[in-house]
Homo-oligomer: A and B are copies of this chain.
Amino acid sequence: MRFLSSLYSLSVFSSKPHPFNSIFTPLLNHLHISFIHCETHSTQQTLLFMDASEETLRKTLTEKQNSVTTQANVVRNLKGAKAAKSEIDAAVEALNALKLEKTSIEQQLQAVLNSDGSGNSLNREAFRHAVVNTLERRFFYKPSFSIYGGVAGLYDYGPPGSAVKSNVLAFWRQHFVLKENMLEVDCPCVTPEVVLKASGHVDKFTDLMVKDEKTGMCYRADHLLKDFCKEKLEKDFSLPVEKIADFKHVLAVLDDLSTEQLGAKIKEYGITAPDTKNPLSDPYPFNLMFQTSIGPSGESTGYMRPETAQGIFVNFNYLYYYNGNKLPFAAAQIGQAFRNEISPRQGLLRVREFTLAEIEHFVDPSDKSHRKYGEVVDLEFLMFPREEQMAGNQAKRTRLGDAVSKGIVNNETLAYFIGRVYLFLTRLGIDKERLRFRQHLANEMAHYAADCWDAEIECSYGWVECVGIADRSAYDLNAHSAKSGVALDAHEKLQEPREIEKLVIAPMKKELGLEFKGNQKKAMNEKEAMEMKATLESKGEVEFHVCTLGKAVTIKSSMVSISIEKKKEHQRVFTPSVIEPSFGIGRIIYCLFEHSFYTRPSKAGDEQLNVFRFPSLVAPVKCTVFPLVQNQEYENVAEQISQSLTGSGILHKIDITGTSIGKRYARTDELGVPLAITVDSSSSVTIRERDSKEQIRVGIDEVAAVVKAVTEGQSTWTDIQQRYPAHSSTAVDE
0/1 per residue, A273-303, Cβ < 8 Å to B?
A: 0000000000000100011111111011010
Q: Is A158 an interface residue (CB 8 A)?
A: yes
Q: Is A174 an interface residue (CB 8 A)?
A: yes
A212-242 contacts to B (CB < 8 Å): 216-218
Taking CB atoms, residues of chain B closer than 8 Å to A294 are: 151, 290, 340, 352
Tell me whether A139 and B342 are in contact (CB under 8 A): no
Taking CB atoms, residues of chain B closer than 8 Å to A217 are: 297
Tell me whether A148 and B319 are in contact (CB under 8 A): no
Q: Which 8 A-B pairs have the closest CB atoms?
A: A157-B186, A218-B296, A147-B484, A159-B183, A147-B486, A188-B353, A162-B186, A290-B292
Please judge, given known A-B contacts A139-B318, A142-B318, A318-B142, whether A296 and B158 are in contact too, CB under 8 Å.
no
Question: For the side of the interface on A, what is the size category?
Answer: 35 or more
Please judge, given known A-B contacts A159-B184, A324-B657, whether A191 and B290 are in contact too, CB under 8 Å.
no
Taking CB atoms, residues of chain B closer than 8 Å to A609 are: none
A-B contacts, 15 listed (Cβ < 8 Å):
A142-B315, A146-B314, A147-B317, A151-B190, A151-B300, A154-B188, A158-B318, A158-B322, A159-B183, A159-B185, A166-B173, A190-B290, A292-B292, A292-B340, A295-B340
Q: Is A597 an interface residue (CB 8 A)?
A: no
Task: With a 10 A CB-CB cut-off, give which of A192, A216, A292, A338 has the most chain B CB atoms.
Answer: A292
Taking CB atoms, residues of chain B closer than 8 Å to A296 are: 209, 218, 286, 340, 342
A303-333 contacts to B (CB < 8 Å): 304, 311, 314-315, 317-319, 321-322, 324
Tell me whether A187 and B156 are in contact (CB under 8 A): yes
Taking CB atoms, residues of chain B closer than 8 Å to A147 are: 314, 317, 480, 484, 486, 488
Q: Which of B195, B302, B324 meets A655, CB within 8 Å?
A: B324
Shortest Cβ distance from residue A174 to the other chain B in the assembled complex, whole angstroms: 7
Tell me whether A148 and B194 are in contact (CB under 8 A): yes
Taking CB atoms, residues of chain B closer than 8 Å to A138 are: 322
Q: Is A530 an interface residue (CB 8 A)?
A: no
Shortest Cβ distance from residue A658 to the other chain B in the assembled complex, whole angstroms: 11
Shortest Cβ distance from residue A644 to the other chain B in the assembled complex, whole angstroms: 13
Tell me whether A151 and B192 are in contact (CB under 8 A): yes
Q: Is A336 an interface residue (CB 8 A)?
A: yes
Shortest Cβ distance from residue A92 to the other chain B in the assembled complex, whole angstroms: 51
A26-59 contacts to B (CB < 8 Å): none
Q: Which of B139, B173, B297, B352 meets A322, CB within 8 Å?
A: B139
Interface segment among A118-126, A381-389, A645-653, A682-690: the answer is: A645-653
0/1 per residue, A108-151, Cβ < 8 Å to B?
A: 00000000000000000000000000000011001011111001
Shortest Cβ distance from residue A55 to the other chain B in the assembled complex, whole angstroms: 40
Q: Is A593 an interface residue (CB 8 A)?
A: no
Taking CB atoms, residues of chain B closer than 8 Å to A654 are: 181
Residue numbers of A with Cβ under 8 A of B are 138-139, 142, 144-148, 151-152, 154-159, 161-163, 165-166, 173-174, 178-179, 181, 183-192, 194-195, 209, 216-218, 286, 290-297, 299-300, 302, 304, 311, 314-315, 317-319, 321-322, 324, 336, 338, 340-343, 352-353, 480, 483-484, 486, 488, 646, 649, 651-655, 657
Q: Which of B179, B188, B300, B342 meets A295, CB within 8 Å?
A: B342
Given contacts A159-B185, A290-B294, 9 further A-B contacts (CB under 8 A): A142-B315, A144-B188, A145-B191, A148-B314, A152-B295, A166-B184, A190-B352, A216-B297, A216-B299
- Nearest B residue to A485 via CB reads B147
Taking CB atoms, residues of chain B closer than 8 Å to A166 are: 173, 184
- Bound: A319/B145 CA distance, A: 13
Please judge, given known A-B contacts A292-B304, A297-B216, whether A322 and B159 are in contact too, CB under 8 Å.
yes
Tell me whether B144 and A353 are in contact (CB under 8 A): no
Taking CB atoms, residues of chain B closer than 8 Å to A154 are: 188, 190
- Bound: A96/B27 CA distance, A: 72
Q: Which of B155, B304, B315 meets A156, CB within 8 Å?
A: B315
- Nearest B residue to A667 via CB reads B324
Chain A facing B: main interface SS:
mixed
- Bound: A154/B302 CA distance, A: 12
- Nearest B residue to A294 via CB reads B151
- Bound: A300/B294 CA distance, A: 20
Shortest Cβ distance from residue A365 to the other chain B in the assembled complex, whole angstroms: 21
Taking CB atoms, residues of chain B closer than 8 Å to A151 are: 190, 192, 294, 300, 302
- Bound: A159/B651 CA distance, A: 29
Tell me whether A218 and B486 are in contact (CB under 8 A): no
- Bound: A247/B183 CA distance, A: 50
- Bound: A189/B335 CA distance, A: 12
- Bound: A258/B324 CA distance, A: 54
- Nearest B residue to A352 via CB reads B190
Tell me whether A192 and B295 are in contact (CB under 8 A): no
Taking CB atoms, residues of chain B closer than 8 Å to A216 are: 297, 299
Please judge, given known A-B contacts A178-B646, A292-B304, whether A218 and B484 are in contact too, CB under 8 Å.
no
Shortest Cβ distance from residue A373 to the other chain B in the assembled complex, whole angstroms: 16
Taking CB atoms, residues of chain B closer than 8 Å to A179 are: 646
Taking CB atoms, residues of chain B closer than 8 Å to A185 are: 156-159, 162
- Bound: A506/B165 CA distance, A: 52
Q: Which of B158, B187, B652 meets A144, CB within 8 Å?
A: B187
Taking CB atoms, residues of chain B closer than 8 Å to A302 are: 151, 290
- Bound: A144/B192 CA distance, A: 10
Shortest Cβ distance from residue A484 to the other chain B in the assembled complex, whole angstroms: 4
Shortest Cβ distance from residue A387 to the other chain B in the assembled complex, whole angstroms: 38
Taking CB atoms, residues of chain B closer than 8 Å to A480 are: 147
- Bound: A146/B485 CA distance, A: 12
Tell me whether B158 and A315 are in contact (CB under 8 A): yes
Taking CB atoms, residues of chain B closer than 8 Å to A173 are: 166
Taking CB atoms, residues of chain B closer than 8 Å to A165 are: 186
Taking CB atoms, residues of chain B closer than 8 Å to A183 are: 158-159
- Bound: A634/B151 CA distance, A: 59
Taking CB atoms, residues of chain B closer than 8 Å to A159 are: 183-185, 319, 322
- Nearest B residue to A190 via CB reads B353
Shortest Cβ distance from residue A529 to the other chain B in the assembled complex, whole angstroms: 29
